[in-house]
Amino acid sequence: MNSEIERRRTFAIIAHPDAGKTSLTEKLLLFGGQIQVAGAVKSNKIKKTATSDWMDIEKQRGISVTTSVMEFDYNDYKINILDTPGHQDFAEDTYRTLTAVDSVIIVVDGAKGVETQTRKLMEVCRMRNTPVIIFVNKMDREAKDPFDLLDELEEELVIHVRPLTWPIESGPRFKGVYNLYEHKLNLFQPSKQVVTEKVEVDINTEELDNQIGAPLAEKLRGELELIDGVYPEFNVDEYLKGEMAPVFFGSALNNFGVQELLDTFVEIAPSPRPTKTEEREVEPDESKFTGFVFKITANIDPNHRSCIAFCKICSGKFSRNTPYYHVRHEKTMRFSSPTQFMAQRKTTVDEAWAGDIIGLPDNGTFKIGDTLTEGEKLHFRGIPSFSPEMFKYIENADPMKQKQLAKGIDQLMDEGVAQLFVNQFNGRKIIGTVGQLQFEVIQYRLENEYNAKCRWEPISLYKACWVESDDPEELEAFKKRKYQYMAKDREGRDVFLADSNYVLQMAQMDFKHIRFHFTSEF
């Protein structure tokens, strides 16, 4: 059993939109022999490019549904990739995906450097000490100076970096990369299918001059000396603690630098790690099965109204048709058709091990964060809801469909599409999301899946923060003074809806003993 778990590598690929996640995922699948030509992962997105508004949401859902899990074997390893949506409006989905992985590859665009979405995602990795590898993509286009890029990565992502490959020029002058981990030179040929040649060179001989020309060879020697002087030696333990990130340079589109990334990754990345629960820490090699649901996708196929709950296995072995205990419902359930994914293709699995991710058919039995065990009562922690940044009142547009609307809102909130707050002052429902697109998705789905109409009314709020205090009197005083801006979330916790940054800062200054939280997990 241990050897099965040891060979598992479960990781997510995260990045700002357009940095090249899907291209990188594709090339990894190409090496894993799962697809024969690049472009196969994208095929379903290409068909869905109609212009009208609701098709646009379909298109967006096409993207968000394929936050699927893809698995393949490489050498002796079994690799599970979670390709996450880069679009900021689906960031919550990505944050939750990060709770189910053991390590992360961050893709950075060589020309743009660190972008806002990358920063936010890195914060989540830091909260969990997730090991991070950075891949600087698009070196075959004009890019920033590599030293400037490394400085920016250190400063913006607050992590030590150590380059393991080093680029020779960029854009049209891009010659290739020097692999510091293996001391080999990889020469670049722009081709989307062929893998490039490697040359073993001693960098202090003339052979390097013959390969890339004397001026570039001189420059490369100087830069490599500088790297050894400035950056600490690469240390696997520091990487596993989440304190140091190895950096690779390449071009995913042209399949350059990807194999170095993959080879180093399977060697140093962690196999499934222990998972914290409220009761104890669960070790992956325990004999009994445990797992938790980190993502629910409703209505992948609108004709069948089917939901799929994605379950991450934390320990032991999952077997088909075996009764397992659902902790929140306190009852046992059997699963006759658990599935594993390869982009859109699903296959039924008979068994899966710690580190794997399986899809369970869900008819309303699961919520995000639910636990399945062999009878032990465990609660997995750490599936965060972030403070939303956009708010609107949701109103019923069709009085005859009150029930359908309530049910729809309830199910969509279970799925974690957005967050619901009830204003204590006027009892109105406020929906908070991380992006404008979410409102369109909710409205469209309520109408098409639940046959309910809603309309949005504007409300100007800056942030929602969960408040708590050890001093009940001060908390009461705060709630009285801010009466109009107090709400409850679905768990019945107090939430302060600040209408501007200034108001929030003043509240933090005036009420010293109140703690303001910007994620719902504290």
Cα within 13 Å of Cα(458), Cβ side:
1
> What DSSP element (H or E) covers 7?
none
User: CA 354 from chain center: how many Å?
Assistant: 19
* Residue 83 assigned as binding residue: yes
| CA distance linking residue 443 with residue 455, whole number of Å | 8
Question: Cα-atom radius of gyration of the chain, to the nearest Å?
Answer: 25
* Helix, coil or strand: residue 419: strand
| CA distance linking residue 60 with residue 362, whole number of Å | 23
* Residue 160 assigned as binding residue: no
| CA distance linking residue 426 with residue 416, whole number of Å | 25
| CA distance linking residue 372 with residue 323, whole number of Å | 10
DSSP string, 245-266: EEEEE-BTTTTBSHHHHHHHHH
108 CB neighbour count, 10 Å cutoff = 26
* Residue 229 assigned as binding residue: no
**Tokens representing 356?**
């794997």
Q: Apex CA 280: angle with CA 275 and CA 285, to 5°?
A: 50
* Residue 85 assigned as binding residue: yes
Q: Apex CA 251: angle with CA 168 and CA 103, to 5°?
A: 110
* Residue 137 assigned as binding residue: yes
| CA distance linking residue 111 with residue 118, whole number of Å | 14
Look at residues 298, 406, 250, 276 and name the one whose alpha carbon lies nearest to residue 65.
Answer: 298
- Token pair 């629960």: residue: 277
* Residue 131 assigned as binding residue: no
| CA distance linking residue 138 with residue 140, whole number of Å | 5
DSSP string, 459-522: ----EEEEEEES-HHHHHHHHHHTGGGEEE-TT--EEEEESSHHHHHHHHHH-TTEEEESBS--
* Residue 138 assigned as binding residue: yes
> What DSSP element (H or E) covers 141?
none
> Residues with Cβ < 8 Å from 122, sequence gap 6 or more?
106, 132, 156, 157, 158, 159
Cα within 13 Å of Cα(34), Cβ side:
23
What residue spans of 241-399 are helical by DSSP H?
A: 258-268
Annotated binding site: which residue ranges? Answer: 83-87, 137-140
Residue set of the binding site for GTP? 83-87, 137-140
